[in-house]
Structure 1
Amino acid sequence: MNSNSNAVKTAGAYRWLIWSVMALSYIVVFFHRMAAGVVRDDLMEAFHISATTFANLGATYFYAYMIMQIPVGVLADTWGARKTVTAGTVLAGIGSILFGLAPGVLLAFLGRLLVGIGVSVVFVCILKIISVWFRPEEFSTMSGITSFTGNLGGVLAQTPLALMVAAFTWRNTFMAIGLATLLIALLCYLIIRDYPAEAGPAAAGGKNKAQAEKLTAASFIQVLTNRHTWPGFFLFAGFFGSYVSFTGTWGVTYLMSVYGMSKNAAANYALVATIGLMVGSVLIGVISDRIQSRKKPMLLFGFIYLATWALLVFVNGGKPPEGILYPLLFMMGFCCATFILSFAVAKEVNPPQIAGVSTAAVNTGGFLGAALLPAIMGMYLDRAEGLAATALYHNTFMYGFIAVVIGTLCILLIKETGCKNIWQSLRK
C-alpha cells in the first residue's frame, strides 16, 4: 500500500518535470510563429522582397507545420514523444541559425522551412504526453495551461523581440535563439519519458506502452472519416488563421499605417492580444472541465470572438477609436482561445489510444488557415492601388472576418462530449 502510494507520488512529480521541458520547447514554437510580423521591415530591406514574398516567407513555417501534422500524430503514437520532440527541436535550432545566417531569400526560406518542420512536432506530442501522464478530466485544463505557457514565446516575439533586434540585429537574435533551441533539445532527450513505466519502477503507477494499441491503417482512416473530427478542424482554421493574420503578420503594419504608431507602440497592441490568448487558453479550458461541457463555452466565447472582428472591420470604416483598441484586442485574443477545446473534442470522439493522430488532424486545420490567410491578405495588399490606408486594411481584414464567420458556424456542428470519450457510443 505504502509502496503504491510512493509510486503514484513519484509519477505525479515526474509528469510535471516532463511537461515543463516540453513547455519550454513550446515557447520556442510560439516565438517563431509570431516573430515574422515584428521583423517585417528588416526582412524586406535585407532581401529586397515584396509584401507577397514576405507573407510567403512567413507562411512557409505554417505550410510546413500543417503538412507535418498527420505524420507527427503517427510518430507520437508509434515512435514516441521523446524521440519525436528531440529530433524536431534539433531541426528547429538548425533552421533558426540558418535563417539568421542566410545571405539571400532562398536560404531564408529554407531556414524558415526547417524551423516549421522542426517545431511542428511539439504540440501534438505534448497532448499525447498529457493523455498518458494526466487524468482524462485534466486534459482540457492542461491543454490550456500548455497554450498559456507556449504563448510566452509569442510575448517574446512582440515588444521584447523588437528591442532585441534593435540592440543586436535580427540576424544575431535568430542565431542566438537557434543555439538556445539546441540546448532545449538536449533537455528533451534527457528528461522526457513516453510512459510512467519508462521513468523507472518508482514512477510506474500509470499507463504503459503495453496498454497502447498498435496504430493501424484502419484506425488512422477512422479518424479522417469520422465526421465529428472535422468541425473542430474548420473552427481552428478560421479562428487561428485570422488571429495569426493580425497579430503575427499584418496587425503591426496596420496600426502603424492607420494610426501612425511607432513600431514599438504597435507591437504593444499585438502583445495585448497575445496576453489575451494566454489567459483565455487557461480559463476557457478550466471552465469547460468544471462545467463538464465542450460546446457551451465554445458557443459563448466563439460568438464574442466574431464580435471583436466585426468591431475591428466595420466600426468607423475599419478604424475603431484608439481608446478601445487595448480591450478590443485583449478580448480578441482571449476568445480566440476557444479553439483549445477543439483538441479535447477530437480526442473524445475518436479512439483514446490514437490521441496523437486525432489531435493532429484538428491541428492541421489551424495551420492551414495560418498559412493561407496571411498570404491572401498579402496578395491583396500588393495589388490594391489608390486606396487610403484605412480602406485598404478594412478590405484586407474582411478576409479574416469571413474566416471567423465560417469557424463560428462550425461550432454549431461540434458534438457535445460531456468531457469524456464517447467514441464507443458514436459507433452504435
Structure 2
Amino acid sequence: MWSVGLLAYAVAVFHRSSLGVAAVEAQERFSAGASAVSLFLVLQLAVYAGLQVPVGVALDRFGSRRMILAGAVTMAIGQLVLGLAGNVPTAVAARVLVGAGDAMTFISVLRVVSAWFPGSAAPLITQLTGILGQIGSIVAAYPLVTLLHATSWTSTFLGAAATGVLVGVLVLVALRDAPDGAPRPVPAGLAELRQGLRDTWREPGTRIGLYTHLVTQFSGTVFALLWGYPFLVVGEGLTSGTAAALLTLLVLVGMGVGPALGRLCARWPLRRSVLVFGILVATASTWTVVLLWPGRAPLWLLVVLVVVLGTNGPGSMIGFDYARTENPAERQGSASGVVNVGGFVASLLTILAVGAVLDVMTPGASTDYRLDAFRAAFSVQYLFWAVGLAGVLRHRRQLRARLARDGVVLAPLHAAVRARLRGGSAYR
C-alpha cells in the first residue's frame, strides 16, 4: 500500500516541479516576464498552503484513497490545461489546479503510513516518503526537460497529464485506506467536523508540530525552490554548473539524513525537540557566517551551507511525527494539515520578502543583484526563525506539562544523558 501512495506523492512532486524547470520556455510561450512566471509559483504555493486544513478535515472524513485519487485527477487536469494554454491567466489557473491537487496528496499518504505501519516504524517510513518522493523533482529536471526540448510544450504537458491519469487508475485499483478490520472514517456532520478541528488545534502536539515544520523547513525550501540559484550565481559568482551541483548536493544530503532522523525519533520520541533545536541552530549559525563573511564566501563555506540546508526538509518531517503521536487516528488528517501549513506559509512569505528586499536595493528593473542586496534579503529569515523558535518552546512546555499530569516527567537533557551513560532512567 505504501508503495502506491509513495508513487502518487512522487508524481505530485513531479507536477509541482514541472513548471520550474520550464520557466524559460514558459516566458517564451506566454510572452511573459520573469515576474509573471514567478506569480505561477507564488499562487501555486499559496493554494497548497491554504488548502491544507480543509484537505485535512476532508481526509478524516473520506479517507486516503479518495483524497489521493482526487488529487491525481486534479493535477492531471491542471497539466492538461497548462499544455493547451496560450496566455498567462489560463496558465495561472492551470497551476492553481496543480497546487490544489498537490495539497491533497502528501498528508493523505502520511495517513496511509499511520494506518499500515506500527508506531515504531512510522517515523522512518515518514522520512522515506519525503525523501523518495523527491524522485519526482529529478524526473522533472531531466526527462521532462529532454522531452520539452525534443518535442513541444503541448506534447510535454499532455504527457505529464497522462502520468496523473495513470496514477489515478493505480490508486483506484490497488490502494486501500487501512488493513482489514481497522476502523474506517465515520461520516460526521458540520458540527462534529468543527469540534474535531478545534480539538486538533487545542492539542499542544499539533501546535509544536506546526512550529517545528515552520522553523526547520522554510530556509531550505526558499533556497532550493527559487532564490538559491541566483544567490550562488549572481551574488557569490559561481558558475551555473557549480550552482546546479550544490543544489543537487542539497537533495542528496536530505536523502542521507532523513532515515537517520527517522530512527532517532523512533528511539527517543520524547526528545524530538532536541533534533529540532540542533537543525535550527546549525542553519541559523551557518547563514550568519555566510552573510557576515567579508566579500564573497569561499566555496567550502557554501558547501557547508548547502549541506546544512539539506537537513531542513527531513527535519520538518518531525512536525508530522508530533501530529501522529499526539492525536487519535480519527484526527490524523486534520492534524497533518495544520502542521503542513507552517513551513509552506513561512516559505511563501520568505520568498516574497526576499524578492521585495532585492527589488528595493536594486535600481530599476535590473536583475543584476549585488551581494549586499542578497545579504539584506536573506536576513529576513531571522524573523521567521524567531517566531518558529518561540512557538516550539511555548508548546513544548505545554506538551510536557500534559505528559507530567499523565505521570511522565522528563529529566533535563544533561541529567538524562548522564543517566543513560550510567544505565539508569531518562525519567524521574
Q: What TM-score do the two structures reach when normalised by structure 1?
A: 0.83
Q: Equivalent residue of 1:103, what SS?
A: coil
> What is the rounded CA distance, in whole Å, between the counterparts of 2:403 and 2:165 in structure 1?
40
Give, as a single letter, the amino acid of the residue that structure 1 aligns with 2:283.
Y
CA distance 1:130–1:418, change in 2 (3 Å): farther
CA contact (8 A) 1:56 1:375 kept: no
1:318-351 Cα shifts (integer Å, max 9, x gaps):
x421244334312211244211111111232333
Structure 2 counterpart of 1:339: 316
Aligned partner of residue 136 in structure 1, secondary structure? coil
1:298 equivalent among 257, 262, 276 = 276
2:271 is equivalent to residue 308 of structure 1: no
Match for residue 195 of structure 1 among 178, 184, 207: 178
Q: Which of 392, 403, 424 is matched with 1:411 structurally? A: 392
Task: Judge conservation of contact 2:205–2:326 (CA < 8 Å) in 1.
Answer: yes
Q: Aligned partners of 1:39, 1:32: CA distance in 2, in Å?
A: 12
Contact 2:49 2:340 in 1 (8 A): yes
What is the rounded CA distance, in whole Å, between the counterparts of 2:150 and 2:287 in structure 1?
35
Partner residue, 1:362: 339
Residues 176 and 348 of structure 1, relative CA distance in 2, 3 Å threshold: same
What is the match of residue 49 of structure 2?
66
Gaps of 5+ in 1: 1-17, 198-203
**Aligned-pair CA distance for 1:361:** 0.7
Q: 1:125 aligns with which of 101, 104, 108?
A: 108
Higher mean C-alpha displacement, 156-165 vs 254-263: 156-165
Shift in CA distance, 177/220, structure 1 to aligned 2, threshold 3 Å: same
Q: 1:394 aligns with which of 375, 380, 383?
A: 375
Task: Trace 1:4-403 onto structure 2 (pairs within 5 A).
Answer: 18-158=1-141, 165-168=148-151, 172-197=155-180, 204=181, 207-209=182-184, 216-261=193-238, 263-292=240-269, 293-316=271-294, 319-386=296-363, 388-403=369-384
Q: Tell me the distance in 2 between the aligned counterparts of 1:194 and 1:74.
A: 16
> How many residue pairs end up in the alignment?
399
* Percent of aligned positions that are identical: 24
Alignment partners' CA distance in 1, 2:377 and 2:154:
30
> Which consecutive residues of structure 2, in runs of 5 or more, have no partner in the other structure?
408-428
Kindly state the Cα deviation for residue 248 of structure 1 after the two structures are TM-superposed.
0.8
State the alpha-carbon separation in 1 of the partners of residues 336 and 16 from structure 2. 19
- The aligned amino acid for 1:248 is L
Cα distance between partner residues in 1 of 2:347 and 2:389: 16
Contact 1:30 1:150 (C-alpha < 8 Å) held by counterparts: yes
Secondary structure of the equivalent of 2:297?
coil
State the one-letter code of the partner of 2:385: V
Residue pair 1:277, 1:333 contacting (<8 A) in 2 also: yes
Moved over 6 A (4+): 210-214, 416-419, 421-424
Give the secondary structure class of the aligned counterpart of 1:89: helix
In 2, Cα distance between equivalents of 1:20 and 1:424: 40
Deviation, 1:303, is: 1.8
TM-score for the superposition, normalised by structure 2 = 0.83
Post-superposition offset of 1:59: 1.5
CA distance in 1, matches of 2:276, 2:41: 29
1:264–1:188 distance in 2 versus 1, CA, 3 Å: farther
Give CA-to-partner distance per residue, 1:156-197, whole Å, 9 cap, x none. Answer: 344665555444566544332221121111101111111212
CA RMSD of aligned residues (A): 3.1
Q: Secondary structure at the match of 1:108?
A: helix
CA distance in 2, matches of 1:159, 1:307: 34
Distance 2:50 2:166 in 1: 26
